[in-house]
Structure 1
């Protein structure tokens, strides 16, 4: 059952390159943000942001987000598996490169992830993801602002 709380932004924060952009844009839209990271990424500096630290186990941050994100929340993650579980619950999911995950694309994305994992088990490794660019950052900013603007229109 959904309560009437405002939308939240949940950030899979361990390797997120757009944390500062999320902070600034979320503040503009008066949207709460919760950064979820493993204890190995613990920050000692005191900030106004909400940080939740979880075990260092591989899926701990994903499970925390999965258990807390609800309809009309926004999640920023690079994890396709997490995205696939959230989009079916009407959670908006964006990658740090500005890709909005859609339910209709999940089967193909998960299949590609499976094939890549299968190749890695065979010892065939790809080059990995391309370096994060300023163009990626700009795409994220545009997509994130669009998503928060859309939510503001839906929920106000």
Structure 2
């Protein structure tokens, strides 16, 4: 099992390390730039080129049925799901094959509105409840993968 983190803007890297250590799971921190990672034997830093979607491409290729992908990127979530991975957003909400189509559609609508000049607010501030929900969801996902063998 492995946790793959789309790390450039991920607010829960420390939480990933804690849960991964408790479960004995390796972590790949994937980014376009060199990020600080703790000197832990189960954490690997992957720095990809700065080309568009290079981190997403690396994660999508590495994702599979024994992986948990942590990302806020809906299109990456879709690619990882198609490869059989469990996919979680940083607020703990899972992306699933049942929900991803709707998420992609909303993303497209929002992009069209922004392109048309609409002033849209950004995401809600990250909260303690989001962090707690993420910790619980990641723990649950790893337990399910362990049970599945």
Relative distance call for 1:140 and 1:33 in structure 2 (3 A) is same
2:77 maps to 1:88: no
Alignment partner, residue 100 of structure 1:
94
Please give the residue correspondences for 1:5-154 in structure 2 after superposition, counting only pairs within 5 Å. 7-39=1-33, 42-43=34-35, 47-48=39-40, 49-154=43-148
Structure 2: 5+ residue stretches without partners: none
Conserved in 1, the CA contact under 8 Å of 2:4 and 2:69? yes
TM-score, length of structure 1 as denominator length: 0.89
In 2, Cα distance between equivalents of 1:133 and 1:114: 26
TM-score, length of structure 2 as denominator length: 0.93
Structure 1: 5+ residue stretches without partners: 1-6
In 2, Cα distance between equivalents of 1:30 and 1:150: 14
Deviates more, 1:44-53 or 1:124-133: 44-53
Relative distance call for 1:45 and 1:105 in structure 2 (3 A) is closer
Conserved in 1, the CA contact under 8 Å of 2:37 and 2:45? no
Count of residues in Structure 1 that have an aligned counterpart in Structure 2: 147
- Superposed displacement of residue 46, structure 1: 6.4
